[in-house]
Amino acid sequence: MYTLIKNIRRYYKTIFVLGICCFFVNNDNFADTEKEDKLIAAYIYNFTKAVYIQTPKGNFKSNKDPYTIGIVSDKQFYNFFSNIFKGKKSDNRNIVLRRILSDNSIVGCNLIFIQKSTNEDCNRILGISEKHKILTIGEVTDFWNDNFMIKLSSKKNKISIELNITKTKNADYIVSSRLLNIAKVIEN
């Protein structure tokens, strides 16, 4: 009987260790997702700079106003971005992140980023953003919305950019040649 209990314990320990190993081996997708999220954060940070795209002058009341980035995402993604952007500046403006939980929180943002896994009504958010000339960036999904100014898609830790030049010009954004050189430019 003692040998049987000993063998059962050994069996469960082996299963436990194998389970942990499988978790870490299969966690490559998590590592890839985190890398892609960091790349997206880097692109968003660069889009806040006038080197890539200039925000219309009327979007800031004073030189001391922060650059406000609205994030439409789940809480985990928002917290991840908050840690990355903590203490960052763009063109001498503090960067402030705001999680978009209602229509009222959209107004006052300079940029809105919509995560691909969000369940929010993109058309409503994009309509408000367009009215207030807010730069809109979204991750590409299978069911894509053509109303974003910038679309980001990620595959195997590479980000591709699609720039809707018509939408950015209509909102009085000035797009630099640097961004035009790295983005696929569309007009509609």
What digits encode the pLDDT tens for the residues 61-84?
Answer: 888 899 999 999 889 989 999 999
Q: Name beta bridge partners: 68.
A: 96
Tens of each residue's pLDDT in the chain, 188 residues: 556 554 444 443 333 333 333 333 333 444 567 888 888 899 999 999 988 999 888 888 888 899 999 999 889 989 999 999 999 999 899 999 999 988 999 999 999 999 887 766 788 888 999 999 999 999 866 555 667 899 998 777 788 899 999 999 999 999 999 999 999 998 87
Q: Report, in this order, helix, strand and coil percent for the chain, each rounded to 5.
A: 45, 25, 30
Between CA 109 and CA 98 the distance in angstroms is 8
CATH number for the domain running over 28-186: 3.40.50
Rounded to two decimals, what is the model's pTM? 0.79
| DSSP states of 1-28 | -HHHHHHHHHHHHHHHHHHHHHHHHHTH
pLDDT tens-digit readout, 30-51: 456 788 888 889 999 999 998 8
Which amino acid is located at 153 in the chain? S
Q: How many residues does the chain have?
A: 188
